[in-house]
């Protein structure tokens, strides 16, 4: 064996590596637990566990430095270590069946976590009674949607991820007759009426309804809290072959008065190149080839409780697929999600007063793996201890006079 | 150190595989109607910047992602905020976007006042603009800087300066009690509004409530 190959093998099969990785993961989990105070669960997941390195900015630096191995790195190495040690060290005999099964379970658990991190997609579907939706919206990701609405039956959508707006480079798509130039972008903002923005820079927008174009985005610190949503805002200029078409203000919510609910900023319409367009900044949408119609929201409370204690939240929905295969009603309530075409719809939030229901939509192709992994580990342990128990009982019976 | 070589190679490999590039996507969907937000009258009447914001523009008809569910982040909420003690009869309602707290304030004959507590970055246009915005909401004419002191009551407590108002609509149907409290670079608004009977009966409670407002960390 070549020295380099041996070096690799010895490194990956070593028990020292396992111990070091376990120690590093203890530190990582401890650090991440403390960091939850500022970052919230989602922020901690992204920074510490769904990353190869924990990145940290120092002072005013815009470049993040890797300061500690992240979850993917430690988990990945543990997996390689376990696999390598498994095949190099362990020799299969029937007496070791249990250990083999348990190890396979642990390997599956690690793989399952990695696949969940990479594949799991969470979004939400918000609708009021009578409303139908064929898309779910991301909790955290946003997109710039430029839609060709010329055809009265079909919307031709070009969706630009927020990350490209943040980069600030001109954006071009073969589907669009103009370039999009981000002139200003903030990942979180309060976009306010001009009366609330005195002393701030005036709006850069010269397109869109006069009422909307005067609103001013006030940049806010990015939030990682679970119950808060970042509300991005941007000024984008559209640049046609004959020069600039104009600048639009794009935001998700508009605040007209501190005491009022913010308004959702509607898409803004314009005509260009003989086509009708609309442009908006919105939560990233995931369209499906079927639609759900919210038929009824029910919020039961325990009788006689004041303030009322909720007993049950449920949403009655109708599934209607484009191919006509499904047209049926289902009830979604706590612990009884709807599983349909690879997605799981959970009852998430509800506002009975406005007949509004929010379903959490989870797509995770690897959701069964942790269950299989735990079953394998349990089975392996039962077999292993069983073998020892029977061997022990056999010896004791043999030793009896 | 020879043992570190495989580690570095593996790290580079994992790092390279982990980068996801955001891409522009294009697709077609059945034509969609924009939600009706009731903005039309506002856009027709409010083309000029002024102190009259379209308070009549109704809250979003079809709430979209996050609306009314998640709290909008404001910097004043990041630091220590203000705290208060509310009378037991006031029923706390879930906080919504921008709102730090909401209470239903019961009045005679089932009438109810709505108390909203909001925090907002910056001085929100200044005291005069805010007072006039509130006056506009109960159909009162705006006052000028000279007339401001005649319509507000000021006092200080716990290191805070409070500016309180009591406005009743000319037809006597609606009333609003409010206080503006600058704090920590932002502005907090305490506004009790609703039918004049309900708001009037809660006046003493509201004034006592205002006197309980204090910074969370003195």
Tell me which chain A residue has its CA closest to the CA of residue B2: A7
Task: Express each pLDDT in A131-177 by its tens digit.
Answer: 999 999 998 899 999 999 999 999 999 999 999 999 989 998 888 99
CATH of the structural domain B90-191+199-218, one choice from 3.30.465, 3.30.160, 3.40.50, 3.40.1000: 3.40.1000
Picking from A370, A348, A350, A368, the residue whose alpha carbon sits closest to that of residue A359 is A348
pLDDT on residue B60 = 31
pLDDT on residue B4 = 54
A184 to each of A2, A170, A218, B193, how far by Cα in Å? 56, 12, 12, 38
Q: Does A141 touch chain B (CB under 8 A)?
A: no
pLDDT(B27) > 80: yes
Question: Up-side HSE of residue A116: CA atoms within 13 Å toward CB?
Answer: 16
pLDDT on residue B11 = 56
Task: Express each pLDDT in B31-62 by its tens digit.
Answer: 888 765 544 333 323 333 322 222 222 233 33
Residue in B14, B27, B96 closest to A287 by CB:
B27
pLDDT on residue B14 = 54
pLDDT on residue A227 = 67
Task: Express each pLDDT in A291-302 by its tens digit.
Answer: 999 999 998 888
Is residue B124 within 8 A of residue B118, CB to CB? The reply is no
Sequence-ordered strand ranges (E) for B59-208: 82-83, 91-93, 99-106, 112-121, 152-157, 160-168, 174-183, 186-195
Tell me which chain B residue has its CA closest to the CA of residue A162: B22
Closest CA of chain A from B166, distance in Å: 16
CB contact under 8 A, A229 and B2: no
pLDDT on residue A33 = 94
Residues of B in contact with A230 (CB under 8 A): 73
Residue in A76, A151, A220 closest to B14 by CB:
A76
Range of weakest confidence among A302-311, B14-23, B48-57: B48-57
The tokens describing A215, both together, are: 């609103």
What b/e sequence results for B82-99 when a residue is b if at least 16 CB atoms lie within 10 Å of its CB, and e otherwise?
beeebeeebeeeeebbbb
The tokens describing A143, both together, are: 């997109």
Q: How far apart are CA A349 and CA A128, in angstroms?
A: 12
Task: Express each pLDDT in B82-137 by its tens digit.
Answer: 888 888 888 877 654 456 778 888 888 888 898 888 877 667 777 888 898 889 88
CB contact under 8 A, A195 and B32: no
Residues of A in contact with B34 (CB under 8 A): 266-267, 278
Residue in B31, B34, B37 closest to A263 by CB:
B37
Q: Does A332 touch chain B (CB under 8 A)?
A: no
Q: How far apart are CA A116 and CA A111, in angstroms?
A: 9
Residues of B in contact with A256 (CB under 8 A): 53-55, 57
Is residue A234 within 8 A of residue A182, CB to CB? The reply is yes
- Span A315-344, mean pLDDT? 91
Q: Does A267 touch chain B (CB under 8 A)?
A: yes
Does this model's pTM top 0.90? My answer is no
Tell me which chain A residue has its CA closest to the CA of residue B36: A266
- Span A323-337, mean pLDDT? 91
Q: Does A307 touch chain B (CB under 8 A)?
A: yes
């Amino acid at each position: 064996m070549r020295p380099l190959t041996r070096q690799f093998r010895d490194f990956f099969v070593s028990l020292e590596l396992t111990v070091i990785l376990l120690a590093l993961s203890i530190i990582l989990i401890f650090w991440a637990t403390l960091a939850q105070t500022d970052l919230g669960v989602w922020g901690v997941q992204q920074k510490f566990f769904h990353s190869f390195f924990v990145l940290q900015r120092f002072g005013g630096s815009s470049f993040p430095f890797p300061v500690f191995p992240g979850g993917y790195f430690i988990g990945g190495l543990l997996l390689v270590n376990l696999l390598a040690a498994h095949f190099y060290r362990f020799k299969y005999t029937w007496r070791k069946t249990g250990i083999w099964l348990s190890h396979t379970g642990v390997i599956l658990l690690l793989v399952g976590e990695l696949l969940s991190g990479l594949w799991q997609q969470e979004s939400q579907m918000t609708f009021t009674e009578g409303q139908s939706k064929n898309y779910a919206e991301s909790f955290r990701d946003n997109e710039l949607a430029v839609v060709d609405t010329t055809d009265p039956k079909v919307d031709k959508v070009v969706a630009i991820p927020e990350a490209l707006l943040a980069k600030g480079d001109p954006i071009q798509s073969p589907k669009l007759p103009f370039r999009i130039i981000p002139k200003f972008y903030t990942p979180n903002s309060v976009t306010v009426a001009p009366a609330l923005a005195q002393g701030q820079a005036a709006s850069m927008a010269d397109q869109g309804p006069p009422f909307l174009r005067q609103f001013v985005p006030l940049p806010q610190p990015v939030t990682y809290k679970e119950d808060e949503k970042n509300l991005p805002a941007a000024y984008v200029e559209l640049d046609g072959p004959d020069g600039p078409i104009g600048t639009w203000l794009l935001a998700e919510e508009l605040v007209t008065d501190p005491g009022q609910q913010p308004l959702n900023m509607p898409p803004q319409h314009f005509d260009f190149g003989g086509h009708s367009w609309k442009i908006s900044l919105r939560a990233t949408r995931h369209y499906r080839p079927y639609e759900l119609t919210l038929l009824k929201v029910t919020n039961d409370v325990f009788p006689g409780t004041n303030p009322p204690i909720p007993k049950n939240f449920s949403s009655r929905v109708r599934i209607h697929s484009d191919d006509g295969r499904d047209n049926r009603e289902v009830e979604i309530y706590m612990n009884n999600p709807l599983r349909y075409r690879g997605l799981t719809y959970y009852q998430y939030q509800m506002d009975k007063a406005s007949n509004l229901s929010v379903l959490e939509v989870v797509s995770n192709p690897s959701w069964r793996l942790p269950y299989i992994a735990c079953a394998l580990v349990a089975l392996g342990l039962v077999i292993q201890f069983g073998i020892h128990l029977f061997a022990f009982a056999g010896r004791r019976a043999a030793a009896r006079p | 150190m020879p043992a570190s070589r495989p580690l570095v190679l593996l790290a580079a490999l994992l790092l390279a595989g982990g980068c996801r590039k955001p891409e522009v996507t294009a697709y077609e969907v059945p034509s969609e109607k924009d939600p009706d937000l009731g903005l039309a009258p506002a856009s027709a009447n409010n083309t000029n910047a002024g102190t009259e914001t379209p308070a009549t523009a109704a809250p979003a008809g079809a709430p979209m992602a996050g609306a009314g569910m998640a709290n909008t982040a404001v910097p004043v909420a990041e630091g220590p905020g203000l705290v208060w003690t509310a009378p037991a009869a006031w029923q706390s309602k879930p906080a919504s976007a921008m709102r730090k707290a909401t209470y239903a304030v019961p009045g005679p004959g089932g009438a109810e006042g709505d108390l909203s507590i909001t925090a907002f970055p910056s001085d929100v246009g200044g005291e005069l603009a805010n007072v006039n915005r509130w006056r506009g909401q109960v159909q009162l004419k705006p006052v000028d800087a000279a007339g401001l002191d005649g319509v507000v009551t000021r006092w200080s407590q716990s290191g805070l300066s409070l500016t309180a108002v009591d406005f009743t609509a000319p037809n006597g149907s609606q009333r609003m009690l409010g206080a503006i409290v600058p704090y920590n670079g932002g502005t907090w608004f305490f506004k009790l509004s609703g039918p004049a009977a309900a708001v009037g009966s809660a006046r003493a409670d509201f004034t006592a409530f205002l006197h309980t407002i204090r910074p969370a960390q003195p």
